[in-house]
């Protein structure tokens, strides 16, 4: 019978490289100014759909009003797309031509 030495009990471990998960691309949801959609409607949408506080919603609305465009929020593609569709549907129901768009966030 062969003698067993302590050195014969090596455990071989394999190092598996950690896979870096790529963060999903985030998208900015942009609201575009127009001459018909009321400020009140834009503020309401920012509060209800984008969960902004009253003061943040007013600030964003004024930015859109004076600059022609503003960011309502930054989300994954699916969430951004859903918010755009939700707001556009609400705008049409209320007779407003509010336009939204999405663009990838730089980063």
What per-residue confidence (pLDDT) applies to 48?
A: 98
Can you tell me the mean pLDDT for 60-84?
Answer: 98
Q: What is the pLDDT of residues 6-52, one digit of tens each?
A: 555 667 667 767 777 888 899 999 999 999 999 999 999 999 999 99
Share of the chain above pLDDT 70, in %: 87
What per-residue confidence (pLDDT) applies to 21?
A: 82
Token look-up 């009140």 returns: 40
The fold of 35-107 is Ribosomal Protein L30; Chain: A, (3.30.1390)
Q: Enumerate the domain spans of the chain.
A: 35-107
Helix axis angle, 77-93 to 39-48, nearest 10°: 140
* Distance separating the N- and C-terminal Cα atoms of the chain: 66
Contact 72, 60 (CB under 8 A): yes
Can you tell me the mean pLDDT for 66-71?
Answer: 98
Average model confidence (pLDDT) for the chain? 90
| Higher local confidence (pLDDT), 4 or 95 | 95
């Amino acid at each position: 019978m062969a003698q067993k030495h302590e050195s014969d009990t090596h455990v071989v471990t394999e190092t598996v490289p950690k896979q870096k998960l790529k963060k999903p691309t985030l998208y900015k949801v942009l609201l575009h100014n127009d001459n018909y959609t009321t400020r009140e409607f834009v503020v309401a949408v920012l509060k209800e759909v984008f969960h902004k506080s009253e003061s943040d919603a007013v600030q964003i609305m004024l930015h859109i009003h004076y600059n022609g465009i503003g960011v309502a929020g930054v989300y994954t593609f699916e969430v951004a797309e859903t918010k755009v569709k939700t707001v556009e549907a609400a705008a049409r129901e209320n007779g407003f031509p509010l336009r939204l768009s999405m663009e990838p966030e730089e980063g």
